[in-house]
Structure 1
Amino acid sequence: MTATIAPPRPQAGAEPPPPSEPRSLPRWAWALVVIGVWIVVWALTKGTDTLEIPVRVHTEVQQQLTDFRDSVLASRDTNPLIQFTYSLGGWFTDVVDWAQRMISIPDFPRPVPQIGWLGVTAIATWIGLAVAGWRIALLVGASFVSFGLFGYWSDSMDLLIVTFVAVVFSVLIGMPLAVWLGTSRRPWVVSMINTLLDIFQTMPTFVYLLPIVLFFGIGASAAVVCTLIYALPPIIRVAGHGIRNVSPTTIEATDAAGQTSFQRLRKVQLPMARKTIVVGLNQTIMAALSMATIAAYVDGPGLGKPVLSALFKNDVGGAFVPGMLIVVMAVMLDRTTTAASEASERAARGQVDLRLRRIVLAVTAVGALVAVWASRTYISLAEFPETSWGPTLAGWVDDFTEWFTDTFRGATDWFKNLISDYLLNPLQSLIAESPWYVTATAILLLAFVFGRARALLPTVICLAGLRYFGLWHDSMITLTMTLVGTLLVMILAVVFGVWMARRASVDLMLRPVLDAGQTIPPFVYLIPMLALFGPTRFTAIVAGVVYAAPVAIKLVADGVRGVSPTTLEASRSTGATTWQEITKVQLPMSRSSLVLAANQGLLYVLAMAVIGGMVGAGALGYDVVLGFSRSEEWGKGAAAGISIVLIGIMVDRICRAAAHDEAVTHDATRRPRWRAALGG
């Protein structure tokens, strides 16, 4: 008979030991296992079944897309849908043309616009004063004067016209949808709208252009329509979020008072969500300005035209001046909408002397009308006088660029070669030179490791789509460049995000820079990168990194800052060093923010894929640009655009699933793991 030893009884008042957790490999370890097996298979099979096709060779699907385009163009006079879209595009063209003749181009037989530069500047300055105050009025006035001083008055006004027309229709279409999203009690409605918005916001900007040109032609019509579509999602999503998140207690009070749904919306939900709605409007304006700039590629009017022309000629100085004015316009519009929201809140709280404000506005309105009259009467006040500011600044930029590249060519080449030789080329060889079925299997396994079952179905659908459209090899090269760019973005995001979160002075210094960086359209980022690295794929990657870094850094900073001070104090009481506190407490506890930053960073980098195709990025970006340039390549360009969207959706869904799984895991295990990590 075997004796049994009873376990010792716990002493009175002692806490029972925590239940043991089943040990399992962390997700990063499983990912390394998958990658390790993938490398072994790649070493044995590389270069086979990569599905690489020559540039000018088309698959059957790509040829069918070209035939579809030809059939659409052939049926313009008989197809009711095409007739409607072209009629709508013609109406947009007429609106833009009327506005141009009013403020930017001669209205023949009048040799100048109906309202000259002085009148336009005076009206814009008065509007800035009326909606946001004298500081914004000065900013607006100085911005408009700079457009003329640097020699781009007409192009600047054209860009503002396209942006304004697109924003007006975005609000007219988007606000009813935002109300529907914010007030609907049907889950399927919310899910449907959010899914459509996810798809639209995942699409890189250039992808909009191919179908828009097909159905609306080129010129102002295509510029307005593609800008309108691209600018719609922010106002719908943000305004709908604000309406939906009005306090339930307030809603219950309105129901108890017997208000109808329309009364509740007009008197309670919209006023209480006003600040959030203005944020959505701000994001819509920024998106519209960004897209209106890119629309220069389809002959859209505006400052994008001289930027695009200079980029094609590798004229850094010629691209810098209009690019700088785009930034000036972006900052002006961003600051004006933000300040307008703050001014309306101050007025609502009674912090503004309304009588004095009306007097000031009335007096300045008279001055603005006088300026309009003068600009219509005197030619010298209607047409901005020629100056040498623009060419002079372009020359200085060219001289500085030549000096900088000659001086630091060794450093820039070293950095480019370091990333290319030790990161980009090996990763591209693994992803693009493995047999397509090996890469597809590895991606599916990694999707399951990071996103579990939630990520599998969208990954399967997107991979099948990439295989179907016949650009698998180019898609894998684009995916490689995107992953490398995202890795560099996350390195910057973690370093600067943690620094900002732990030092208020650093946050105060960097946040305005990051805010300004988010207002710059992606086109503009190519200019300095082209000067530093020349027309190569690395130029596109670095431009994407600089474009994506601001949003990722801010997300990481906000996530790290959100870690509970109590938790930090507890870790410090255990004797944790600064490095341990960052790596074992703050970063692990802000993991969901890191996942979101990686998701957004990757989508921003991917958005530069096609734009980078104009400066030597190759792969899908080049295919899309080729589809624009040659009519016989339209099908291949369309397939490349769809493939970019599929890559974006696939990665977005994997990141979302990973973030959801991380949140569920965190909620299920409340005990702070950092104690065990620190030995406490």
Structure 2
Amino acid sequence: MTEGVAGPGLRARGFVESQKLANPDSPRPVEPGAAPPPPERKTLSRWIPALGVIVAWVVVWYLTDGKDTLSLPGVARTALHDDLTEINNDLLAGRDTNPVMLFTGALADALRSLVEMMQGIFSKPNLPRPVPEIGWLGVTACSTYVALVVANWRIALLVLASFLSFGVLGFWEQSLDLLIITGISVVIAVVVGMPLAVLVGTSARANRAITVVLDVMQTMPTFVYLLPVVLFFGIGIPSAVVATLIYALPPIVRIAGFGIREVPTTTIEATDSAGQTYWQRLLKVQIPMARKTIIVGLNQTILAALSMATLASFVDGPGLGKPVLAGLRINDVGTAFVPGALIVVMAVMLDRTTTAASERAEKVARGGGGDPRTRRILLIGGAVVTIVAVYVSRTYVDLARFPENTLGSRIADVVNDVMDWITGTFSGATGAFKDAITNGLLNPMESVLAESPWYVSGLGIAALALVFGGLRAMITTIICLAGIWYFDLWHDAMITLNMALVGTVLVMILALVFGVWMARDRRVDLGIRPLLDAGQTIPPFVYLIPVLALFGPSRFTAIVAGIVYAAPAAIKLVADGVKAVSPTTIEAGRSTGQTTWQEITKVQLPMAKGSLVLATNQGLLYVLAMVVIGGLVGAGALGYDVVYGFSRSEAWGKGLAAGITIVLLGVMLDRITRAAADKRRDDPGPRRAFFVRLPIGPPK
């Protein structure tokens, strides 16, 4: 029977499910001849004890407002922060004798030499030659030809247009530098990550151990990587590569390992019975069968590397992140817009190229791929054109260095004029919205979280973790809270937690509205999903540019940027969860005369609770990551502490403590929401597995 066609049995079961959801207290109907069901134990909604905890917390806050909050005035530091700074100073002083520092120093020199060599070939003059070894025309031709070889002519045109836009808008060298950092990091990530992925896919013990490390790496906001990386690798190119590598490694390990692990057991048993060795089974069966999933992991690794390479401009990493950062620092939207737009162009180009390459490989493996003779002629002709382009780009200066033009600056001026008009016209509406959220939600929650005594806030958070996640989540929460208390940044941690929670509430409102709309209307899904895909390829750094122009430097700016960053993933999760509800169940509900609102609230959303909790998990972590980056635009709290630690050597310890505190917050929130999702796994309704394209930032 095809899906969506309800026979009598399916229609009856769908009716039972819908009636049970609509009226949980009613007895479940029994089919004729079946044994009576066991008596069902009524369970108390978790929101009732949670509401009790919140009410008690508010009462205690009212009686003890402002006491024992562990707040630090201004940029004050504690003895612990100064001790951490001394560790940093001791390591720097022993750079020439400490074995660890000697090793990281040698690795930094090797990475710097490799990047500078690549820059000399493709982007920057390499003395004594006053131009790159391969000029802009040769680089563009080679990139276009590679796209033609691995994908198709449409992708080749996309790559051609992308590379031309790098030069036409005046950021050729910065764009190539960003591609070089991204490319080197991805190659190293694949070399290191694929063996780990094989371990994850073939060994349950290794999977458990490696997954813990990956969880920490992916929970940690990207900004936090930079402090310890700078300590061991210094400012500049090496830190940019290492930070990018750390952030880009988990997707390839996790997703490729999942693909290898999901190869059917029957297939493995068949290869064992044929006498294949471990390596034969791995190389001839498991990896080929998991190829499509491995390519998905590679795609995510490339996009993650591009995102982190942009953020590496904070440690003087080369690339397009530098002009974006310069524009943010002076609140010049036009200056930041053009390089930010090129980052988006680069992300789309890399995303579409890897996706098309995987699709073509799949077609070729199945014996497709189009007319081989036509393709052979096209490839030969393309190779000739590429060789000629490389030769002339090495011979003529005008074809080696991209001609200077002012199109980028003119676009920047236009963008500034447009933003001035928008802010002047809509400042009243944006200001009112900002004040409404700030006064109605942000300030009251911050008062309860940050102005309660630290032990009251700790007990309240632990109790809520117990209610929503169970005993194991509460134990993890207590450990994380103890760490936050130890690093002497409790008050700032509560402010950051409050911003993340407010942002998540607003994200889930958007996710419910648009997710349900997409699930119920295929035309809406087709119209909105490409926008969500595009939103997930934009690096998080870029979101700050328009939001900063609309709302100015404030904590609300960081929250709005986090909402824009997190909403696409949450919306898609809700849409896919609601869409997975059995059509027979929905049809049975309609036959009882349910209204659209009843159908959504009584059937679809209750049966998609697992997806809703997962969307909340993703929203929390993405908003938290953006709130930290928001320290650059006036968000304050832990984000500012990290930025302060970067800018002042004497505050390095406070910056490190803030980074560790952010990680503890992320782990705590992740474990609570994951545990809550696990407790929903026995909900009725069919499930389906699906991949979610991760945004540039923390996947979870």
| Distance in 1 (alpha carbons) for counterparts of 2:269 and 2:513 | 46
- Asked if the contact 1:45/1:434 (under 8 Å) is kept, the reply is yes
Distance verdict in 2 for CA 1:375–1:12, change over 3 Å:
closer
- Asked if the contact 2:480/2:667 (under 8 Å) is kept, the reply is yes
1:164 alignment partner in structure 2: 183
| Distance in 1 (alpha carbons) for counterparts of 2:223 and 2:613 | 26
1:544 alignment partner in structure 2: 562
Q: Which amino acid aligns with 1:334?
A: D
Q: Which amino acid aligns with 2:249?
A: L
Distance verdict in 2 for CA 1:580–1:377, change over 3 Å:
same
Greater Cα offset, 65-74 or 51-60: 51-60
Aligned: 1:181 with 2:200: yes
1:386 alignment partner in structure 2: 404
- Asked if the contact 1:112/1:382 (under 8 Å) is kept, the reply is yes
- Asked if the contact 1:317/1:395 (under 8 Å) is kept, the reply is yes
Distance verdict in 2 for CA 1:14–1:257, change over 3 Å:
closer
| Distance in 2 (alpha carbons) for counterparts of 1:567 and 1:227 | 47
Which structure 2 residues correspond to residues 169-318 of structure 1 after superposition, within 5 A? 169-184=188-203, 187-318=204-335
- Asked if the contact 2:30/2:37 (under 8 Å) is kept, the reply is no
Q: Which amino acid aligns with 1:29?
A: I
Distance verdict in 2 for CA 1:665–1:361, change over 3 Å:
closer
Q: Which amino acid aligns with 1:524?
A: V
Instruction: Normalising by structure 2, report the TM-score.
Output: 0.92
- Asked if the contact 1:610/1:625 (under 8 Å) is kept, the reply is no
**Is the partner of 2:680 in helix, strand or coil?**
helix
**Is the partner of 1:413 in helix, strand or coil?**
helix
| Distance in 1 (alpha carbons) for counterparts of 2:276 and 2:373 | 34
1:673 alignment partner in structure 2: none
- Asked if the contact 2:155/2:352 (under 8 Å) is kept, the reply is yes
2:78 alignment partner in structure 1: 59
Q: Which amino acid aligns with 2:323?
A: P
Which structure 2 residues correspond to residues 649-664 of structure 1 after superposition, within 5 A? 649-664=667-682
Q: Which amino acid aligns with 1:345?
A: E
- Asked if the contact 2:122/2:133 (under 8 Å) is kept, the reply is yes
Residue ranges of structure 2 left out of the alignment (5+ in a row): 1-28, 686-700
Aligned: 1:598 with 2:628: no
1:126 alignment partner in structure 2: 145
| Distance in 1 (alpha carbons) for counterparts of 2:368 and 2:34 | 57
Q: Which amino acid aligns with 2:627?
A: A
Instruction: Normalising by structure 1, report the TM-score.
Output: 0.95
Distance verdict in 2 for CA 1:506–1:112, change over 3 Å:
same
| Distance in 2 (alpha carbons) for counterparts of 1:37 and 1:457 | 21
C-alpha distance after superposition, 1:370-392 (max 9, x if no partner): 00001000001111111121011
| Distance in 1 (alpha carbons) for counterparts of 2:214 and 2:564 | 25
Superposition CA RMSD, Å:
1.5
Match of 2:88 among 54, 60, 69: 69
Aligned: 1:406 with 2:424: yes
Which structure 2 residues correspond to residues 30-109 of structure 1 after superposition, within 5 A? 30-109=49-128
- Asked if the contact 1:99/1:161 (under 8 Å) is kept, the reply is yes
| Distance in 1 (alpha carbons) for counterparts of 2:352 and 2:74 | 45
- Asked if the contact 1:104/1:153 (under 8 Å) is kept, the reply is yes
How far the C-alpha of 1:24 sits from its partner, in A, is 4.2
Q: Which amino acid aligns with 1:57?
A: A
Q: Which amino acid aligns with 2:314?
A: Y
C-alpha distance after superposition, 1:288-336 (max 9, x if no partner): 0000000000000000000001110111000000000000000000000
Match of 1:324 among 323, 341, 346: 341
Residue ranges of structure 1 left out of the alignment (5+ in a row): 1-9, 668-680
Give identity over the alignment, percent: 65
Q: Which amino acid aligns with 1:316?
A: V
| Distance in 2 (alpha carbons) for counterparts of 1:389 and 1:131 | 32
Paired positions, count: 656
Q: Which amino acid aligns with 2:348?
A: V
| Distance in 2 (alpha carbons) for counterparts of 1:132 and 1:22 | 57
Match of 2:512 among 494, 501, 507: 494
**Is the partner of 2:107 in helix, strand or coil?**
helix
Q: Which amino acid aligns with 2:466?
A: F
How far the C-alpha of 1:188 sits from its partner, in A, is 2.9
How far the C-alpha of 1:17 sits from its partner, in A, is 6.7
- Asked if the contact 1:285/1:333 (under 8 Å) is kept, the reply is yes
Aligned: 1:507 with 2:533: no
| Distance in 2 (alpha carbons) for counterparts of 1:633 and 1:440 | 27
**Is the partner of 2:546 in helix, strand or coil?**
helix
- Asked if the contact 2:607/2:683 (under 8 Å) is kept, the reply is no
2:22 alignment partner in structure 1: none
Which structure 2 residues correspond to residues 349-428 of structure 1 after superposition, within 5 A? 349-352=366-369, 353-428=371-446
Aligned: 1:529 with 2:547: yes
| Distance in 2 (alpha carbons) for counterparts of 1:99 and 1:137 | 23
| Distance in 1 (alpha carbons) for counterparts of 2:142 and 2:683 | 56
Aligned: 1:455 with 2:476: no
How far the C-alpha of 1:237 sits from its partner, in A, is 0.1
**Is the partner of 2:681 in helix, strand or coil?**
helix
How far the C-alpha of 1:11 sits from its partner, in A, is 13
Q: Which amino acid aligns with 2:367?
A: G
How far the C-alpha of 1:664 sits from its partner, in A, is 4.2
How far the C-alpha of 1:20 sits from its partner, in A, is 4.4
